[in-house]
Amino acid sequence: MDDATAAAQTREKAANVGIDIDKLDAAVTPLQADFRTYQAQRKGAEDAIALLQKQVADLELTWKGAQQNIEEEKKVIATIAGPGANSGTPAGNTAAQSGGDQANLPAVPVKLTTIADRAAELKVRVAEARGLREKAATELQEAIRNFDLAGREGDSVRTDFSEQLQGDRVAPNEKLALQQMEETYSGSSARLAKAMAQQALAMNYAAEAMVANQLKQALTSAQEALGTDSPAAIADCLSATPSVDTIANQADEQFALALDGLEAQGTQTLPGPAAQSRKLSALVGKMIAAYGAKQLSLAWGNHPVTGKTPDDLQAMIDDLAKQVSDIDASNLPAIPYTIAVPPPAAAVPAAAPAAGATTQQ
């Protein structure tokens, strides 16, 4: 009896163990699936890490190659830049500065191969151009003084004619002739020439200011591009370049004087070709001065010139052009003042929104 009871209990325990085993099997199955997923994910991660490590190694090789290229390019830049020039004569260009050979033949210029050579040569050319402009400015200033003196002398002559015109015995034909002589020999003609000389001086200063501005922009850009490899010759040329603001201010003052002087001569007070010719000359001269002032203002970063913006000056040019076109110049002598006509603009593609439009200069 006891053995039967023990056997039954054993069978019951075995059955319970079997049930527990089945439960464990059921619980292990998803764990085994998760484990296989984790194994696959780990393999993917290991493959990704290996790929990244390869990419890093490739990048290191590429960077080393890039560093070698950078060093090579630095050497090339240093070769092109050349050593700094300590004098006004470009390095390696002494043959170009010497006389010819024993047969008195001209020396063959040596080609400038480095930036240092070019900067040193540019410094010489800037000095030469500045010397010529200063000489022209001196001569124009002397002309302005002489025309001013001539204007005062003309006023004196005009007074003599005016006194004759007041006489009671002057016939109508004589009076008309005296009026024309009064107009022709008056000081206003000399003052027109003075205003023209002031305009030429303003153009002289404006041209120098615009060249100096372009030169400084080019040299500064070269310095920034070369960095520590920039030759001393560039800084030397920059220091020798005249002040853009100083010259532009001189041009501004002269433009103001020229425009005022031309404005004073632009009103015709007497009939006849002499007065009308002077008026036409003054209008055209003022137009040229306004155009020069506009170009200076644009080159000077839209800085106002004579107190006017580029748009204001363009409006003045347009108004003067209309006044000139309204004058009948068929019987007047030719005026030696012209405005350069810009070349025709390139054809605009049909798809462009501004096709067919013209741009004012």
- Phi/psi at 308 (5° precision): -125, 145
At 74 the pLDDT is 60
- Is the pLDDT at 356 greater than 50? The verdict is no
Does residue 175 register a pLDDT over 60? yes
> In the prediction, which pLDDT does 77 show?
58
What does each C-alpha distance from 246 to 206, 279, 340 come to in angstroms? Answer: 11, 33, 27
Instruction: Tell me the pLDDT band of 66, cut-offs 50, 70 and 90.
Output: low
Q: Which range among 157-161, 221-225, 323-327, 330-334 has the greatest average pLDDT? A: 221-225
Average pLDDT for 230-240: 87
State pLDDT tens for residues 40-53. 777 777 777 777 77
pLDDT of residue 310: 92
- Write down the mean pLDDT value for the chain: 74
Query: Do residues 339 and 295 lie in contact, with contact meaning Cβ atoms separated by under 8 Å?
Result: no
Tens of pLDDT, residues 87-135: 444 444 443 444 444 455 555 455 656 788 888 888 888 888 888 888 8
CB-based burial label for 196 (10 Å; 0-12, 13-18, 19+): buried
pLDDT above 50: residue 19: yes
Could you give the dihedral angle defined by the CA atoms of residues 249, 255, 258 and 263, in that order, rounded to the nearest 10 degrees? -130
Domains of the chain in sequence order: 115-325 (1.20.1050)
pLDDT of residue 97: 46
Radius of gyration of the chain (CA): 44
Query: Does residue 313 register a pLDDT over 70?
Result: yes
Transcribe 103-148 into DSSP letters: T-PPPPPPPP-SHHHHHHHHHHHHHHHHHHHHHHHHHHHHHHHHHH
Give the CA count within 13 Å in the CB-facing half-sphere of 102. 0
User: Would you place residue 159 in the very low, low, confident or very high pLDDT band (cuts 50, 70, 90)?
Assistant: low
**In the predicted model, is pLDDT for residue 302 greater than 60?**
yes
pTM of structure: 0.57
User: Looking at residues 181-189, what average pLDDT do you find?
Assistant: 66
Residue 164: per-residue pLDDT = 61
Residue percentage of the chain with pLDDT more than 70: 65
pLDDT at position 43 is 74
The per-residue pLDDT for 103 is 52
Helix (H) or strand (E) holding 258: helix 244-264
Helix (H) or strand (E) run with residue 19 in it: helix 2-81
Which pLDDT value is given to residue 174? 67
What are the pLDDT digits (tens) for 134-154? 888 888 889 888 888 888 777
